[in-house]
Structure 1
Amino acid sequence: MLTGMQIAVIGGDARQLEIIRKLTELDAKLSLVGFEQLDHAFSGATKEKIDEVDFANLDVIILPVPGTNLEGQIETIFSNEKVFLLEEMLMKTPDHCTVYSGITNSYLTGITKQANRRLVQLFERDDVAIYNSIPTVEGTIMMAIQHTDFTIHGSNVSVLGLGRVGMSVARIFDALGANVKVGARKSEHLARITEMGLEPFHLNDLEDEVNDVDIVINTIPHLIVNASVISRMPPHTLVIDLASKPGGTDFRYAEKRGIKALLAPGLPGIVAPKTAGQILANVLSQLLKDDLQKRKGKET
């Protein structure tokens, strides 16, 4: 249980509702900021404005998956008011206060460092990324069906990157009957692709590998699907870029060439927000339990 733990949940989308539900079940005391338009009420949770939050008593601050923007503004789907997280707010919190976010940027990293508060990026964790790859794959399949006039079965699919998402995408598209090639750089990844029964290729050879491709699925957050690569693709090729913004595709040249290229980060929160929220809630609640145990151990 998280009895007595003071938590501020600031902003977010439908995924945050699952986090709120889970934490209230564990008896934490929650301040909800940016949820004025939410009709549902949670026992043990109070809707507040950001300037009403008692930061001096907070044990935890939970931000949405994107964290903040570069000006400190936090995404608030359930509110029309602009909400900002400022360094002076963090300075008021107890030393042990921890900030949880999906990802970070220079602003969020900077203010937590200046305030000497711990920042935990949930999407850096293997368990979260692997669980999230499931709704990501389902969303990718949905996009492939919506934006093509041919079946996945029998199509030529190139997956770029064999990380946690790339591996899941390659495996499922193969199971659907596609002819899957996977591009990677590391020798151990090329070996793993072979072991999976798929066709490996080195990313240095990407230009030569796309001349007959129907669907390209990129998971690498660096510009890899560049103009030279796009110029070698057939006109009907669909590019689905799953990398975090701004993606790894030259979208301007793709449009100029007539290649349909879609940037699709955050698919779990779009196609399956309930499941995506439950994934975050389960991992987060365990982390908070562990933190509470450590703190109690130091106090005794």
Structure 2
Amino acid sequence: MLTDMHIAVLGGDARQLEIIRKLTELDAKLYLIGFEQLAQSFTGAVKEKLEDVDFSIMDAVILPVPGTSLEGEIETIFSSEKVILTEQILNKTPSYCKIYSGISNSYLDHITNLSKRTLVQLFERDDVAIYNSIPTVEGTIMMAIQNTDITIHNSSIAVLGLGRVGMSVARTFALLGAKVKVGARKSAHLARITEMGLVPFHFNDLKNEVSDLDICINTVPHMILNAGIIANMPTNTLIIDLASKPGGTDFRYAEKRGIKALLAPGLPGIVAPKTAGQILANVLSQLLADDLEKRKEISK
């Protein structure tokens, strides 16, 4: 139980609703900022304006999955008002207050470092990333079907990267009958691709490996599909970029060549927001319970 915990929830999408539901069930006291247009109510949660919240009593601050923009603005689909997180706000919180976000950026890193608050990036955790790969794969399949005129079965697909998402994507498309090859850089990843019964290739050979593709799925958050690589793709290739913004694709050049390239980060929140929210809620509730228990032990 999270009785006596005070938690500020700042903005977000439908995933945050599952987090709010779970934490209020565990008896936490929640302050919802950026939710004034939300018709739904939760026992134990109150809607507040940012300037009216007493951050000095907060045990935790929960941000949306994307965190903040580079200007500190927080995504708020349930509000028309801007919510901006600043160093000054964090300085008002107790020293033990933790900031929870899906991912981070230079701005969020900077203000949490200046305020000496702990930032927890949930998507850096293996459990969250692996659970989230399930709705990500389903969303990728949906996009592939919607944006091609061929079956996945017997199509030629390259998956770039064998991280937690890349592995799930490659395995699932192979199970659907696609001819899947997987690009990686580490020798251990190339060995794992072989063990999975798929075709491995090194990123050094990427230019040659894209010449016969129907679909290219990128999971690498760096510019890997540059103009030189895209120039060697058939014009009917579909690129699905799952990497976090801005992705790893030269979208300008892809459009110039007439190649459809789709940036699709955050698929879990789009195709299965309830499941994606429950994944985050379960992990968050355990982390918060651990924090509460540690503080109780210290205070004894």
Which TM-score band applies after superposition, normalised by the shorter structure? over 0.9
State the AA in 2 paired with 1:227: A
State the AA in 1 paired with 2:158: S
Taking the TM superposition and a 5 Å limit, the aligned residue runs for 1:24-63 are 24-63=24-63
What is the rounded CA distance, in whole Å, between the counterparts of 1:63 and 1:132 in structure 2? 18
State the AA in 1 paired with 2:119: L
Normalising by structure 2, we get a TM-score of 0.99
What is the rounded CA distance, in whole Å, between the counterparts of 1:71 and 1:159 in structure 2? 33
- 1:39-92 Cα distance to aligned partner (Å, 9 max, x none): 111000000000111101000000001111111111100000011111111111
Partner SS state of residue 78, structure 1: coil
Aligned to 2:74: 74
Aligned to 1:87: 87
What is the rounded CA distance, in whole Å, between the counterparts of 2:254 and 2:185 in structure 1? 24
What is the rounded CA distance, in whole Å, between the counterparts of 2:108 and 2:228 in structure 1? 35
Taking the TM superposition and a 5 Å limit, the aligned residue runs for 1:250-265 are 250-265=250-265
- Aligned-residue Cα RMSD (Å) equals 0.5
Partner SS state of residue 248, structure 1: coil
Shift of 1:211: 1.1
Partner SS state of residue 228, structure 2: helix
Taking the TM superposition and a 5 Å limit, the aligned residue runs for 1:1-300 are 1-300=1-300
Shift of 1:202: 0.5
- 1:135-184 Cα distance to aligned partner (Å, 9 max, x none): 00000000000000000000000000000000000000000000000000
Partner SS state of residue 9, structure 2: strand
What is the rounded CA distance, in whole Å, between the counterparts of 1:240 and 1:14 in structure 2? 23
Partner SS state of residue 69, structure 2: coil
What is the rounded CA distance, in whole Å, between the counterparts of 2:238 and 2:248 in structure 1? 14
What is the rounded CA distance, in whole Å, between the counterparts of 2:102 and 2:96 in structure 1? 20
- Consecutive unaligned residues in structure 2, runs of 5 or more: none
Aligned length: 300
- 1:186-228 Cα distance to aligned partner (Å, 9 max, x none): 0000000000000000010001111111000000011111111
Partner SS state of residue 193, structure 2: helix
Partner SS state of residue 23, structure 1: helix
Partner SS state of residue 211, structure 1: coil
What is the rounded CA distance, in whole Å, between the counterparts of 2:208 and 2:93 in structure 1? 55
Shift of 1:291: 0.6
- Consecutive unaligned residues in structure 1, runs of 5 or more: none
What is the rounded CA distance, in whole Å, between the counterparts of 1:288 and 1:53 in structure 2? 20
State the AA in 1 paired with 2:244: S
Partner SS state of residue 24, structure 2: helix
What is the rounded CA distance, in whole Å, between the counterparts of 1:111 and 1:235 in structure 2? 44
